[in-house]
Amino acid sequence: MDTAVIVIERTYDAPVERVWDALTDIDKLNQWFFKLEDFKATPGFAFSFSGNDNGVKVVHECVVTEVVPMQKLTYSFIYQGYPQKSYVSFALFPDGDKTKLVLTHSELEEIAKGSPMYGRHKFLGGWTYLTGKLAEFLDK
């Protein structure tokens, strides 16, 4: 198993346009993802969000690197204070009224080198949880 990459595949009972909107519209993102001050699906757009890891506030800093409307969104991902960079990609594949999402988080070995508390298992658990929250949001 490649410990440097996480791939999660999930099919949603929603057309690709709804899934894309949930990934790129700030109001929709704030309902299932972390709370963001602003977000634009535009290459070069920088955004950040914070979370809680066992009582410690962690800040995630991201920059959108690739946008193919209705197909793919990619952004870089670092923890504030740790220079190791990874990439998160959401690829969408329409299937009639459903959409298959393939979430890939790559280059994780560099983050784990910078801080062992950010091992692959943390990301796998986090993305599994968030793709489930996205399903709940889309089912509304």
Sheet hosting strand 6-12, strand order edge to edge: 6-12, 98-106, 86-95, 72-79, 56-68, 46-53
Q: Which residues contact 14 (CB under 8 A, 6 or more apart)?
A: 97, 98, 99, 138
How do residues 47-102 score in pLDDT, each as one tens digit?
Answer: 999 887 777 788 889 999 999 999 999 999 888 877 788 999 999 999 999 999 99
Confidence of residue 115 (pLDDT cuts 50, 70, 90): low
CATH number of the domain within which 134 lies? 3.30.530.20
Is 51 inside a domain boundary?
Answer: yes
Question: Please, are residues 61 and 78 in contact by the beta-carbon 8 Å criterion?
Answer: yes
The total domain count for the chain is 1
Residue 94 lies in a domain: yes
Instruction: Kindly report whether the global pTM for this prediction surpasses the value 0.85.
Output: yes
Domain that holds residue 109: 6-139
- Is 1 part of a structural domain of the chain? no
In a domain, 121, yes or no: yes
> Residue 101, Cα to own-chain centre: how many angstroms?
11
pLDDT surpasses 90 at 44: yes
